[in-house]
C-alpha cells in the first residue's frame, strides 16, 4: 500500500497524490489517503478551504480514504524524527533548522518506507512493502514518467458553471493572461507572511509589462482569494477581467488552467494552473524566489520561465 499523510490544500494535495500515483503504477499497488491533518486544520480554520480537494477530480477509483497503518519499525522511525528534531533545534536555532535536520535523516527514514521530501529527492532502492508519504514532494520530476495520466486524473468532474461560461469563452478565444494574486494566510498569518509574502504590487506590474512586450493584445484575467482588495488597491489596464473570487476550488483551477499565459504567485495553486495549461507557446512569469526561509522551492522552477526579482 502507498499511504499519503496528506498536507495542505489543493495545490499541495495535487503534488502528494501525483507522486503516490506514480509509485502505485510503478509498484502495481494501491493508494490510501489519510486526511486527518486536513481535518485538524479545518477544525481550527473552518473557512480556510481545508478539505479533501481531490474529491472533485477524476483520480483513480482504486484510491481509498483511510488511516495510515504503521509497522512497529515505522512508528519508531516517526518517534525518532519527532524527538530527534527537538534535540537538534537546541543546537541549531536558525529559521531553516527543520529543513537541515530533515536533510540529514531523509534517507534513513526512506529505509523504513517513510518518505518526507518537500522538494525533489532522488529516492533509490526503496524497500518492499508499504510506503508512507509524509512530505510535500513539490517537483514535477516525481511524476514526469506518468505526466499524461496525471493530467487526465486532474480534470474536474464538473463542467464550467453557467455563470462563468462567458468568462471561459473569453479565456479560450483570446491571448489570455492568468494573473494570480495570493493573499489570505500569506498576509494574515505572521509566520507564513514572514516566509512567503514576496509578490508585491510592483512584481505583478512588472510581470504584466513583460507580457505586453511579448504578446499582441493580451487579455488579463485576474484571480485572487481577495478580489475586492485587488480591485480597490491595484491598477490594471482597461479591459482587464476578474474572476468573482467565490468560485469553488475546482472551478477556479479550471478557469485558470484554460488561460494561455501566466503571471503566477509563489503558490502551488498558481503552479498547477500553468502546468495544466495545454497551450504550447505559453509564457510564464514567476518571482525569482519561492520563499524567504524553509524549503526554497527551487525544484518547482522551469528554465523557460521569465523570473522577476522580489525581495
- Per-residue pLDDT tens digits for 112-167: 999 999 999 999 899 999 999 999 999 999 999 999 999 999 999 999 999 999 99
Strand, coil or helix: 64:
strand
| Mean pLDDT within 72-84 | 92
Backbone region of residue 13 per phi and psi (left: phi > 0; alpha: psi in -120 to 50; beta: other values): alpha
State yes or no: pLDDT of 295 exceeds 90: no
Distance CA 267, CA 296 (A): 12
Check residue 302 and report its DSSP letter: -
| Mean pLDDT within 219-245 | 95
Distance CA 142, CA 131 (A): 15
Strand, coil or helix: 95:
coil
Task: Name the grid cell of 140.
Answer: 514535477
Question: Mean pLDDT for the chain?
Answer: 94
| Mean pLDDT within 15-24 | 98
Q: What is the pLDDT of residue 193?
A: 67
Model confidence at 245, pLDDT cuts 50, 70, 90, reads confident
Distance CA 233, CA 167 (A): 23
Q: What is the pLDDT of residue 96?
A: 80
Query: What percent of the chain shows pLDDT beyond 70?
Result: 99
Do residues 32 and 66 make contact, with C-beta atoms less than 8 angstroms apart?
yes
* Least reliable range by pLDDT among 11-25, 78-92, 103-117, 169-183: 78-92
Which residue reads 520563499 in cell numbers? 291
| Mean pLDDT within 229-253 | 95
**Selection from 182, 172, 142 nearest residue 278 by Cα:** 172
Q: How far apart are the first and last CA of the chain?
A: 43
* Least reliable range by pLDDT among 182-186, 261-265, 267-271: 182-186
Longest pairwise C-alpha distance within the chain: 62
| pTM of the predicted structure, to 2 decimals | 0.94
Contacts of 188 (CB under 8 A, 6+ apart): none
Distance CA 135, CA 103 (A): 12
Amino acid at each position: 500500500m502507498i499511504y499519503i499523510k496528506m498536507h495542505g490544500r489543493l495545490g499541495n494535495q495535487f503534488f502528494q497524490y501525483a507522486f503516490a500515483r506514480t509509485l502505485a503504477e510503478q509498484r502495481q499497488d494501491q493508494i490510501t489517503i489519510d486526511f486527518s491533518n486536513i481535518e485538524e486544520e479545518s477544525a481550527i480554520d473552518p473557512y480556510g478551504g481545508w478539505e479533501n480537494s481531490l474529491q472533485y477530480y477524476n483520480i483513480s477509483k482504486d484510491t481509498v480514504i483511510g488511516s495510515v497503518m504503521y509497522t512497529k519499525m515505522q512508528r519508531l522511525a516517526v518517534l525518532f524524527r519527532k524527538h530527534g528534531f527537538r534535540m537538534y533545534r537546541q543546537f541549531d536555532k536558525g529559521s531553516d533548522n527543520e529543513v537541515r535536520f530533515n536533510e540529514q535523516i531523509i534517507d534513513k527514514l526512506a529505509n523504513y518506507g517513510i518518505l518526507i521530501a518537500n522538494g525533489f529527492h532522488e529516492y533509490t532502492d526503496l524497500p518492499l512493502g508499504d510506503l508512507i508519504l509524509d512530505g510535500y514532494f513539490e517537483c514535477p520530476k516525481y511524476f514526469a514518467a506518468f505526466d499524461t495520466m496525471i493530467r487526465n486524473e486532474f480534470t474536474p468532474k464538473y463542467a464550467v458553471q453557467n455563470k462563468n461560461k462567458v468568462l471561459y469563452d473569453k479565456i479560450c478565444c483570446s491571448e489570455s493572461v492568468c494573473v494570480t494574486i495570493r493573499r489570505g494566510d500569506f498576509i494574515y498569518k505572521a509566520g507564513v507572511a514572514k516566509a512567503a509574502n514576496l509578490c508585491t504590487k510592483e512584481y505583478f506590474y512588472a510581470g504584466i509589462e513583460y507580457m505586453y512586450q511579448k504578446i499582441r493584445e493580451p487579455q488579463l484575467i485576474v484571480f485572487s482569494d481577495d478580489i475586492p482588495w485587488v480591485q480597490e488597491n491595484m491598477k490594471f489596464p482597461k479591459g482587464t477581467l476578474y474572476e468573482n473570487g467565490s468560485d469553488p476550488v475546482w472551478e477556479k483551477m479550471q478557469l485558470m488552467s484554460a488561460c494561455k499565459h501566466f503571471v503566477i504567485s509563489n503558490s502551488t495553486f498558481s503552479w498547477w494552473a500553468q502546468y495544466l495549461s495545454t497551450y504550447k507557446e505559453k509564457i510564464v512569469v514567476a518571482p525569482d524566489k519561492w520563499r524567504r526561509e524553509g524549503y526554497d522551492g527551487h525544484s518547482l522552477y522551469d528554465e523557460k520561465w521569465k523570473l522577476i526579482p522580489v525581495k
